[in-house]
Amino acid sequence: QMLCFTQEAALRHFLEISSSNASHPKWKDWQVESSVQVEVVTLVVKFWTGRIPDQDIELYLKRYCEILQPPIKPVDKFGFWYGVRKYKGWMRRDEAGHIISIPNSISLGPYNGRIIYPGQTVRCFICQDLDHQARECPTIKCWKCSELGHKAKSCHNESECSLCGLKGHTFFKCPKSFVNILKSSRQPRPSDTLDFPDVYSQ
């Protein structure tokens, strides 16, 4: 018997299950062949602003996958870019062999965006549940420390960066953000400062 799929998302989901359960007795008689590499996906990132640089988005994505090629930025019929970036990425797996999913929502400072790819598991951006989206979520999330149950204004925890994922700073202070890297590169170094002699000294 042969099992065929007409939708790529369903095929990818099946391939992931078969790959992560290859050693299970139920799969011992299965022979899975496909030209689709389940780890390689096209990632569509949509922001409703042009203020987020490519470098920051790529830094965020690299927490979950390896980027295989520079972004493609489609334009509309008038030649204007409308905020969509398309990446090809190689998804990572966890210790159990399951593909690490990328959140379907992304928040960098005041700017929110969406991430879409084939086989994606759509979860609530706030609590990560599967049965609702963020606009319907009753859970309170702190945008300073990323913990649930309280708001940022009453938070006494250490900050967690939404860009690099490290603790101790926010997105705006992240040393890896493209804007902050540019700022630090523009600061004059001691060796760049000319030391003129004091012509009035005796």
Pair 67, 141 in one domain: no
Q: Which domain holds residue 134?
A: 124-183
Task: Name the domain boundary from 122, 149, 167.
Answer: 122
If one counts the domains in the chain, the total is 2
Pair 43, 103 in one domain: yes
pLDDT tens digits for 3-23?
A: 777 777 777 777 777 666 666
Cβ–Cβ under 8 Å, residues 90 and 66: yes
Question: Mean pLDDT across the stretch 35-63?
Answer: 90
Evaluate whether residue 51 is within a structural domain. Answer: yes
Evaluate whether residue 58 is within a structural domain. Answer: yes
Angle at 191 between CA 187 and CA 197, to 5 degrees: 115
One-letter amino acid identity for 110? P
- 70 or 190: which carries more pLDDT confidence? 70
Evaluate whether residue 156 is within a structural domain. Answer: yes
d(CA 98, CA 161): 25
Residues whose CB falls within 8 Å of the CB of residue 62, separated by 6 or more in sequence, listed in order:
none
Cα torsion 129, 127, 11, 90 to 10°: value is -160
One-letter amino acid identity for 28? K
Evaluate whether residue 197 is within a structural domain. Answer: no
d(CA 113, CA 161): 16
Pair 97, 154 in one domain: no
pLDDT tens digits for 149-169?
A: 999 999 999 999 999 999 999
This prediction has a pTM of 0.75
Pair 65, 130 in one domain: no
Residue 93 above 90 pLDDT? no
Pair 111, 72 in one domain: yes
Question: Mean pLDDT across the stretch 49-60?
Answer: 94
Pair 76, 129 in one domain: no
Instruction: Tell which residue, 115, 105, 119, has the closest CA to residue 45.
Output: 115
* Mean residue pLDDT across the chain: 84
pLDDT tens digits for 104-130?
A: 989 998 899 999 998 788 888 888 898
Residue 15 CA neighbour count, 13 Å, CB half: 19
Cβ–Cβ under 8 Å, residues 147 and 154: no
**Token representation of residue 146:** 């990323």
Which domain CATH number covers 107? Answer: 3.30.70
Task: Name the domain boundary from 122, 147, 170.
Answer: 122
